[in-house]
Amino acid sequence: MSAQSQEREFYRPTIDPDRDLRRVGASNTKRNLKLGPNVAVLVIDMSPIFVDEWLFPNADKGVGVACANAIRDFLIPVRELKLPVIYLKTAGHEVTVFNRSTKKADEWCDKYGGSRADTPAAAAKNAEIVFSCVGNDDDVRQVILEENGILRGITDGGIIVDHTTASAIVAHEVSEAARGQDVGFLDAPLSGGQAGAENGQLTIMVGGDGEIFARAKPVMEAYAKAITLIGPVGSGQLAKMVNQICIAGVVQGLSEGLHFAKCAGLDAAKVISAISKGAAQSWQMENRWQTMVRDEFEFGFAVEWMRKDLKMALEAAAGNGANLEMAKLVDGFYAEVEELGGCRWDTSSLIARLEK
């Protein structure tokens, strides 16, 4: 895809049913979680999420899970999933789907099986652990706190794990409401990009009570390689802001380096081969330099989502006194990328504004 393209294509994984179903079945012998067998999957506007076989490649039998989600680019859109319900049923789950469009939910059930719930509350009923991943603070409030939200359906003693990248403020709001009805809450934003989601290798930064974390962690291990309890509620969201601040600086530096190499007439492949073995090495360099020099930006987290995250970091910094000069600068550069038509390009598209 060139920088002039505005439509985003999503990666379509190659799925081997025999291989992947064996992988799910084999993993079920490793743990014995004593939870109910119900999985309620809330799919809001047919967006990507944990019903995906790549997000629960090692899901255990007997795990009650509810998932709520909105558009997050690093996950695969629901319409492109091949065998989600097959994987969940193989793991011993019953699947309930919710979508604000009943037509889409019915089409999903007709195609993949399972049943449809009319509300997030209904989908969360009898689920002992609810995983949500929506778009922003208002979406979190709508899906969890409002009249037909998750808190109206989840059982007492249940746990809500919110994977949304949102503010620490809304994390505290939800935690307080959940505590009032004997429901645990963890704010647990994700990192790892599309590849991490597809391969069950995400990183999760968690804020919340240690006992609640200990109960939820074995389930999260089905789709994450690293799960860290940072501190009390809100700490996960603040840690994710640190993550995005660091990524912004790394991508801008890589963009300028590649742009400089091109202007200097250097062979980018040879340059990267040399410097990636030293102190300049980074995940972004290893995984994005080739697509960046080819002007291809359809891989992973979208610019508009990065700007949302940086906005929250800048707002938090205004409250705690942190000086985020670089983050503010790069946020402005991403605004320029959006003006080029790159709202849905991935974050490596910072190089596009240098070569326009």
Structural domains in the chain, CATH included, are: 17-231 (3.40.50.720), 238-354 (1.10.1040.10)
Token pair belonging to 356: 């326009």
Percent of the chain residues past pLDDT 90, beyond the cut: 51
Tokens 């202007």 belong to residue: 263
| pLDDT at position 180 over 80 | yes
pLDDT value of residue 349: 97
CA neighbor of 126 nearest in space, from 146, 102, 150: 150
Percent of the chain residues past pLDDT 70, beyond the cut: 69
Rg over CA atoms, the chain: 21
- pTM comes to 0.75
Q: Please, what is the Cα angle at 147 between 143 and 152, to 5 degrees?
A: 75
Question: CA 294, CA 247: separation in Å to the nearest integer?
Answer: 21
What phi and psi, each to the nearest 5 degrees, are found at residue 139? -65, -40
Catalytic annotation, residues: 240
pLDDT value of residue 122: 86
Cβ-based neighbours of 268, under 8 Å, separated by 6 or more: 258, 261, 262, 289, 293
Torsion sign, CA atoms 107, 112, 116, 122: negative
pLDDT value of residue 35: 33
Q: For 182-206, write each residue's pLDDT tens digit.
A: 999 999 999 887 677 667 778 999 9
How far apart, in Å, are the Cα atoms of 82 and each of 78, 112, 174, 223, 284? 9, 9, 34, 18, 29
Element (H, E) at 269: helix 268-275
CB 292 within 8 A of CB 254: yes
| pLDDT at position 75 over 90 | no
What phi and psi, each to the nearest 5 degrees, are found at residue 51? -65, -20
Burial of 277 (0-12, 13-18, 19+ CB in 10 A): exposed
Which comes out higher in pLDDT, residue 13 or 235? Answer: 235
Which comes out higher in pLDDT, residue 71 or 299? Answer: 299
CB 70 within 8 A of CB 135: yes
Which comes out higher in pLDDT, residue 261 or 220? Answer: 261
| pLDDT at position 58 over 80 | no
CB 297 within 8 A of CB 352: yes
Question: CA 26, CA 128: separation in Å to the nearest integer?
Answer: 24
pLDDT value of residue 301: 85
